[in-house]
Amino acid sequence: MSEWTVPPAQLRLAPDELSAWLIPIDAPPHRLRDLAETLSPDEQRRAARFHFERDRIRFMAARGALRGILGAYLRRPPAEIVFAYSPHGKPSLADEPSLSFNISHSGDWALCAVALNRRIGVDIESIQPELAGQSIAERFFSPREVAELRALPSAEQSAAFFRCWTRKEAFVKARGEGLSLPLDRFDVSLRPGAPPALLSTLDDPREADRWSILALPAPPGYVASAVVEGPSPSRVFRFIQSP
Ligand SMILES: CC(C)(COP(=O)(O)OP(=O)(O)OC[C@H]1O[C@@H](n2cnc3c(N)ncnc32)[C@H](O)[C@@H]1OP(=O)(O)O)[C@@H](O)C(=O)NCCC(=O)NCCS
């Protein structure tokens, strides 16, 4: 976890930089109460609708932490952050659209990334080796990705599967179109050692040059990826949010 550092008191972000934030979900009760108080009425209602307590806590912890992170960049109290939502549900800042962000959660962690003036998507997944061998790849990945995955030694397939999954999911989230963007109509790299990349997109061949994929370090047992519009950021900060 040494790749993730405590953030400085004053946060700054330049246009060619990206900040990734790792957020532990298991906040202690007093911290969770503080985070919950920053949520808007619609977020409180959403939290109350979760069937499982664990999902409710995860949402409140991640959404509260996200408010804190965005508030620190904007020098604004977390409760004063106002979100807007795209037709497919992607949140953005209602009055500061130049500060773009995206968040993902899996298991004990949430991952958030923040950039300026470019679309961004992130995905974190806990590695579940049993999923890699099943027909999920054949169902969701492109033919090229499936061929590359199945050509790997079986010991490498699990990591490659989740590398591919998080890169695809982060791309879908960066575009913000949800699952209306068919997952089998674009290819990402997945082989061990291959640079993270959007290799091709069937619907618009120029699209592959418009996006950069970043492999982010993740806690043990997790894989994390980010996708940003434009060239790869010249600097990537990695901060861990204190629980
Ligand atoms: C909703 C979706 C964007 C992500 O869902 P997910 O993987 O379950 O969830 P993640 O934890 O990664 O991300 C959820 C967050 O993304 C954000 N989000 C919601 N809709 C979004 C959209 N259309 N675009 C980008 N981000 C979105 C929200 O902040 C949400 O967090 P919240 O619960 O605090 O509101 C959508 O792409 C989806 O359902 N994907 C599943 C696709 C799949 O089956 N993939 C197979 C392997 S490739």
pLDDT in tens, 12-49: 999 999 999 999 998 888 999 999 999 999 999 999 99
Residue 180 scores a pLDDT above 90? no
Provide the 3-class DSSP secondary structure of residue 22.
Answer: strand
- Percent of the residues in the chain that have a pLDDT greater than 70, as a whole number: 99
Residue 182: CB within 6 Å of ligand 1?
Answer: no
**CATH code linked to domain 17-123+230-240:** 3.90.470.20
Write down the mean pLDDT value for the chain.
94
Dist. CA 99–CA 114, nearest whole Å: 7
- CATH code 3.90.470.20 region(s) in the chain: 17-123+230-240, 127-213
Dump pLDDT digits (tens) for 97-129: 999 999 999 999 999 999 999 999 999 999 998
Residue 181 scores a pLDDT above 90? no
Amino acid in position 21: W
Residue 134 scores a pLDDT above 80? no
The pTM of this model reads 0.95
Give how far Cα 191 sits from Cα of 158, 164, 180, Å. 11, 9, 26
CATH topology assigned to domain 127-213: Ribosomal Protein L22; Chain A (3.90.470)
Residue 242 scores a pLDDT above 80? no
Tokens of 4: 């993730």
Rounded to the nearest angstrom, the distance between the alpha carbon of 104 and the centre of ligand 1 is 7
Dist. CA 219–CA 202, nearest whole Å: 33
Tokens of 71: 């508030």
Provide the 3-class DSSP secondary structure of residue 123.
Answer: strand
Burial class (CB within 10 angstroms; exposed 0-12, middle 13-18, buried 19+) of 125: buried
Residue 104: CB within 6 Å of ligand 1?
Answer: yes
Question: Which of 81, 86, 104, 146 is the best mutation target for the ligand 1 pocket, counting ligand atoms within 8 Å of the beta carbon and taking the most?
Answer: 104
Residue 145: CB within 6 Å of ligand 1?
Answer: no
Rounded to the nearest angstrom, the distance between the alpha carbon of 31 and the centre of ligand 1 is 25
